[in-house]
Amino acid sequence: MYILAIETTGPLCSVALLEKNKILDIMNTSEQKNHLRDLIPLIKELLISNNIEKSQIDYMAASVGPGSFTGIRIGVSTARALAQVLEIPAVSVPTLDAFRKKPLSSGEKNCVICGIINARRGQVYGMIDGFMNGCACMMTDVLDVIERDVVSNGLHVKFFGDGIDAYSQMITERLGKDSFDFADKNVRYQDAASVGLLAYEKIAAGEVINAEELLPDYMRKAEAQQKLEAGEIRF
């Protein structure tokens, strides 16, 4: 069983090929925010380098958001089109849930994963594994939960996501340096391998859909639409 996974909600475009829950290969772009240009060539390169034909793919998995609105649309529409052409099922993977599949070292047994995606204006799309489901909230709300429920119980936090880039100072000032770590930049951001691993679990649980049912999850309205509805933009 082969799974082709796509991740375009973050800074980097990423694709991965899995055989069941085994990661065969993953490829990421080196440049940020060129997903429309890079995604299809990246998929072709991934399949060719692993001697896999498109007809051998059994499931198409896509990270559906939240994250970059443009990136979400590119990834979801591409995955939907490929699933339709290949006549295979699709798997909808919530971006924040995929952070749970980020690797931790053997020495991080008491470590809790926290995924944060920058939503601007002091806000994030955030999740804390086992403590807070994915939602749009203030960064201060995430830190409140960590202080109250995680750090107070002697647990360590490891942050992933581009929210680190925006809120590292706030996090350090609130939590102190001994209670958390920031993931290294080479594994910090959303990636297709994590999407594929969660997709495999969803496939095993029977959580597959038709291509037409694969839809984006923006989690909130675009900033421009919010300003328009608030009367901050006038024509």
C-alpha dist (Å) from residue 85 to 37, 38, 79, 88, 89: 20, 20, 10, 8, 11
Q: Where are the alpha helices (DSSP H) in 10-61?
A: 35-49
224 pLDDT above the threshold of 80? no
Both tokens assigned to 22: 């085994």
Judged by average pLDDT, the poorest of 32-36, 90-94, 112-116 is 32-36
| Lateral strand order in the sheet of 132-138 | 132-138, 123-128, 111-120, 156-160, 180-182
β-pair partners for 15: 6, 27
What is the reported pLDDT for 209?
Answer: 98
- Do 82 and 31 lie in one domain? The reply is yes
Answer whether residue 219 is part of any domain. yes
CATH of the domain at 159: 3.30.420
Q: What is the mean pLDDT of the chain?
A: 92
| Lateral strand order in the sheet of 59-63 | 22-28, 14-19, 2-7, 59-63, 90-93
What is the domain count for the chain? 2
What is the reported pLDDT for 83?
Answer: 98
Answer whether residue 165 is part of any domain. yes
- Do 12 and 92 lie in one domain? The reply is yes
Taking each helix axis from N to C end, the angle separating 69-86 and 35-49, rounded to the nearest 10 degrees, works out to: 40
**Hunting for tokens 């060539």 — which residue is that?**
41
β-pair partners for 14: 7, 28
Mean pLDDT computed over 121-142: 96
The model carries a pTM of 0.91
Answer whether residue 234 is part of any domain. no
Answer whether residue 235 is part of any domain. no
- Do 131 and 194 lie in one domain? The reply is no
What is the reported pLDDT for 55?
Answer: 96
Residue 211 is part of which domain span?
Answer: 2-96+190-229
221 pLDDT above the threshold of 80? no
What is the reported pLDDT for 231?
Answer: 43
- Do 49 and 121 lie in one domain? The reply is no
31 pLDDT above the threshold of 80? no
What is the reported pLDDT for 108?
Answer: 86
**Which one is predicted more confidently, 232 or 210?**
210
- Do 82 and 161 lie in one domain? The reply is no
Answer whether residue 42 is part of any domain. yes
Answer whether residue 91 is part of any domain. yes
Pairing of strands 59-63, 90-93: parallel
